[in-house]
């Protein structure tokens, strides 16, 4: 493979909101939430911005890799909830870590964003344009969630995860990956932003929140993610049981269990932190990846499949062989 994972980091807001606290906001219960999602608590920003969390995770990833900001050549931030339209979050990270040589930009593929950013970084490195990349998923979803809608407010949390990749000088082979989008189903998970209103058009002001058809998202994820993983493994001549660990987007415990069942793989190979952090969208895969590395649950020599799905609708998978 053309790239090696050199370091990871994560950042979560200090404020933890339990299911019991949500009972005061919406008609729900801890039992109801856990049964349907597996979530017990989530971290919620009390002022931390997407950029704040991205910077904190980035610094930890660089420290873990033994690298400095001055060495970084490419910074990619995946996010669907940044506070500022301009400048992009990646440029704010670049400034904060002193990466004055780096090219920096954001991309938005919602919960698949970290994977899409990884694939982008891999393509740059495989072509020889850059030799390393800092890839970050960062979200503050709490500000775009309707806290009176129990179908969505129980799901989401805030946080950031980062990974530092370096080009493997002995390989020009890109990461094996599958990447797909289906815009025809885009409205099953959506969130409006700025109203169409200007000096020449009197649009209506309206506050937009996340809306979701939970059943359709569940059907989509449990069908498309296993198919993407099997297509990925077909490119590598590997079988599902040959994979040491599956690091999936942490949307819902029931979705993860369903994917494991469809792949006929022991659920023990599907670690999860959704009970503690909820669905952090583009940040969920790198947050979990960092947890697993720091706890020694994934180690050099292991084959790890990363896979995610999200608004767009988007989905994908890639194989990472740790060295």
Catalytic residues: 111, 249, 279
The end-to-end CA distance of the chain, in Å, is: 10
Cα separation, 251 vs 282, in Å, equals 11
pLDDT given at position 77: 98
pLDDT given at position 134: 98
Hey, do 3-167 and 177-321 end up sharing a CATH topology, with the first three levels equal?
Answer: yes
pLDDT given at position 213: 73
Tell me the pLDDT of the chain (323 aa) as tens digits. 568 999 999 999 999 999 999 998 999 999 999 999 999 999 999 999 999 999 999 999 999 999 999 999 999 999 998 888 889 999 999 999 999 999 999 999 889 999 999 999 999 998 889 999 999 999 999 998 889 888 889 999 999 999 999 988 776 677 789 988 888 876 767 667 766 665 556 766 666 777 777 788 778 888 889 999 999 999 998 999 999 999 999 999 999 999 999 999 999 999 999 999 999 999 999 999 999 999 999 999 999 999 999 877 899 999 998 87
pLDDT given at position 110: 87
pLDDT given at position 195: 64
pLDDT given at position 18: 96
Q: Is 270 helix (H, G, I), strand (E, B) or coil?
A: coil
pTM of structure: 0.93
pLDDT given at position 199: 52
- The b/e string for 268-307 (b: 16+ C-beta within 10 A; e otherwise) is ebbbbebebbbbbbbbbbbbbbbbbbeeeebeeeebbbbb
Task: Please tell me the class of the 3-167 domain.
Answer: alpha beta
Spans of all domains in the chain: 3-167, 177-321
Note the CATH architecture for domain 177-321: 3-Layer(aba) Sandwich (3.40)
Task: Give the dihedral of Cα atoms 306, 316, 12, 166; nearest 10 deg.
Answer: 60
Q: Is 171 helix (H, G, I), strand (E, B) or coil?
A: coil
């Amino acid at each position: 493979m053309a790239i090696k994972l050199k370091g990871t980091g994560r950042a979560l807001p200090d404020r933890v909101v339990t299911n019991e606290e949500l009972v005061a906001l919406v008609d729900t219960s801890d039992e109801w939430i856990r049964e349907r999602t597996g979530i017990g608590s989530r971290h919620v920003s009390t002022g931390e911005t997407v950029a704040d969390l991205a910077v904190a995770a980035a610094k930890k990833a660089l420290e873990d890799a033994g690298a400095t900001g001055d060495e970084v050549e490419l910074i990619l931030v995946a996010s669907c909830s940044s506070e500022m339209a301009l400048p992009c979050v990646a440029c704010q990270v670049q400034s904060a870590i002193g990466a004055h040589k780096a090219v920096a930009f954001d991309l938005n593929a919602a919960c698949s964003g970290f994977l899409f950013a990884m694939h982008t970084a891999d393509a740059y490195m495989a072509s020889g344009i850059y030799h390393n990349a800092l890839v970050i998923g960062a979200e503050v979803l709490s500000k775009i969630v309707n806290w009176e809608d129990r179908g969505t407010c129980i799901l989401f949390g805030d946080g950031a995860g980062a990974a530092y990749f370096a080009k493997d000088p002995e390989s020009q082979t890109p990461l094996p990956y599958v990447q797909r989008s289906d815009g025809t189903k885009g409205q099953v998970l959506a969130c409006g932003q700025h109203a169409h209103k200007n000096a020449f058009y009197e649009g209506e002001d309206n506050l937009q929140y996340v809306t979701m058809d939970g059943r359709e998202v569940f059907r989509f994820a449990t069908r498309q993610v296993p198919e993407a993983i099997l297509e990925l493994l077909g490119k590598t001549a590997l079988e599902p049981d040959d994979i040491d660990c599956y690091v999936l987007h942490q949307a819902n415990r029931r979705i993860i269990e369903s994917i494991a069942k469809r792949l006929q793989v022991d659920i023990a190979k599907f670690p999860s932190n959704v009970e503690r952090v909820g669905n952090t969208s583009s940040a969920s895969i790198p947050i979990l990846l960092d947890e697993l590395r720091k706890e020694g649950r994934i180690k050099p020599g292991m084959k790890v499949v990363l896979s995610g799905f999200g608004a767009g609708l988007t989905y994908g998978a890639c194989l990472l062989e740790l060295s």
